[in-house]
Structure 1
């Protein structure tokens, strides 16, 4: 039986207040506006940007650009589409999918990281003995759907029928622990919690190397208006915080642990499952090649309706 302590309840309430407060703050903004509003979930690869903001709350740079921590990518995508966010932290496949349905297209301000095992499909220990269809929980229309499709193509379910169960990351551990689902597609910190419950990893991002790429995307119209302070923020935030992550600065590790709700002692090993990139130009990371390869797969499998263009903001603004 899973027991929720008083401390855990208080932390959940704090996270809910932070989340709803963030939504109210975003909703209060209208175009054009200051500061630029961006958001992402608690993914490890996004932490250099979040941690910088927490360490420098009163700087002139952070006053012009605000990052909001939201519980799920689906929240980020919805608020971007509604015009309440100017950009977001997404995987490359999510950015491409978003791009096909908007009038204000995106550009990539920074390639953040590549997942090397930090996203995975995890199953109940006895999943092979369970009746069909197998129920797999994941966030719909996000990287979870993409990983499920790639896992099916790789034949990991041995031809068995599966059905998707819509579940944001904050729902997934409970669904798995109560055996309401046979498997979960998730990422750290949820991935770490599921492993502690005995989950078996049957497919992860190492098996599709270079395909799960995280990016900071900005609406092109916003980039053209605010390029200078967006560029200053992401360069300074990324360089300073990544440097501290490499030396395992204790304060930075504590903030990452708090933001991801991960035990402090687990942060370093979790970070080993991704590669921090921090690219803003083709010379630093070949975004065109990655986008072309990923887009071909999405089109071939009818996950995209038509080809879309997505390039570096720096390239497009020249």
Structure 2
């Protein structure tokens, strides 16, 4: 009996010493075509879901908030947003460049507004992020305007379509897939990121305190991302699966 008791005690002691499995890395993304390879990788299990989980959020603002609060281990963000978070004291490491915007970030406006200069006295909706501020600055320069010449309202990305369609704003600073959604409804593109080449860069970041201890898991994520990126280029069914999530037809998505 004593030997059995000793065996049971030793078994539980050894079990208690075993390292507990770590939860999957939590990586935040918001609706943006440049981040969709990460979404596709999660859907197709191109990385191990016990090691990496992609968390879909409604906006960059939400991603940044979750990073600051420790609810995410990493996120897809624009480079200027990463720099602002770093200035605020959050230590992040860039582990990949995801894309460079060449027309996908844009300003769309109602009928009658054909150029940036036509925005004088009008209401512009934007998400108050580093990206929104950057595009606003370049837009106003293009129209030879100042902030005093326009009215600004803060609207998170998920409401960009409704704020323009409802008439609450005369123009909106947005990005794909919302750009295509609005263009299909006859709103006019009056400015886009082709006028600011190389300025909008999307990157994948990791919290510095989570990077080195979980390095194999980050590698797992990057390998899955690359596989998904290639699949999007080669496999039409990939666009078919992603388009409904951003309220586009597969044809609009591929465009």
- Interval containing the TM-score (normalised by the shorter chain): 0.7 to 0.9
Residues 1:245 and 2:229 are matched in the alignment? no
Cα offset for 1:261?
A: 2.1
Secondary structure of residue in 2 paired with 1:197: coil
Match of 1:50 in 2: 39
* Residues 224-263 of structure 1: pairs in structure 2 closer than 5 A: 224-234=212-222, 236-247=223-234, 249-263=235-249
Cα offset for 1:266?
A: 1.1
In structure 2, what is the Cα distance between the partners aligned to 1:83 and 1:229?
Answer: 18
Task: Compute the TM-score of the two structures, normalised by the length of structure 2.
Answer: 0.84
In structure 2, what is the Cα distance between the partners aligned to 1:133 and 1:141?
Answer: 22
Match of 2:61 in 1: 74
In structure 2, what is the Cα distance between the partners aligned to 1:142 and 1:260?
Answer: 23
The structure with more radius of gyration:
2
Cα offset for 1:163?
A: 2.1
Cα offset for 1:130?
A: 7.9
Q: 1:40 aligns with which of 17, 29, 50?
A: 29
Contact 2:107 2:174 in 1 (8 A): yes
In structure 2, what is the Cα distance between the partners aligned to 1:229 and 1:123?
Answer: 43
In structure 1, what is the Cα distance between the partners aligned to 2:146 and 2:65?
Answer: 35
Deviates most, 37-46 or 155-164: 155-164
Match of 2:112 in 1: 126
Cα offset for 1:155?
A: 2.7
Residues 1:223 and 2:199 are matched in the alignment? no
Match of 1:285 in 2: none
Residues 1:167 and 2:155 are matched in the alignment? yes
Match of 1:99 in 2: 86
Deviations 1:166-196 (A, max 9, x none): 1112212111112111100101111112112
In structure 2, what is the Cα distance between the partners aligned to 1:158 and 1:144?
Answer: 15
Deviates most, 33-42 or 130-139: 130-139
Contact 1:123 1:199 in 2 (8 A): yes
Match of 1:176 in 2: 164
Cα offset for 1:62?
A: 2.5
Unmatched tracts of structure 1, length 5 or more? 1-31, 270-318
Cα offset for 1:145?
A: 1.7
Contact 2:79 2:203 in 1 (8 A): yes
Contact 2:93 2:207 in 1 (8 A): yes
In structure 2, what is the Cα distance between the partners aligned to 1:153 and 1:35?
Answer: 44
Unmatched tracts of structure 2, length 5 or more? 1-20
Count of aligned pairs between the two proteins:
233
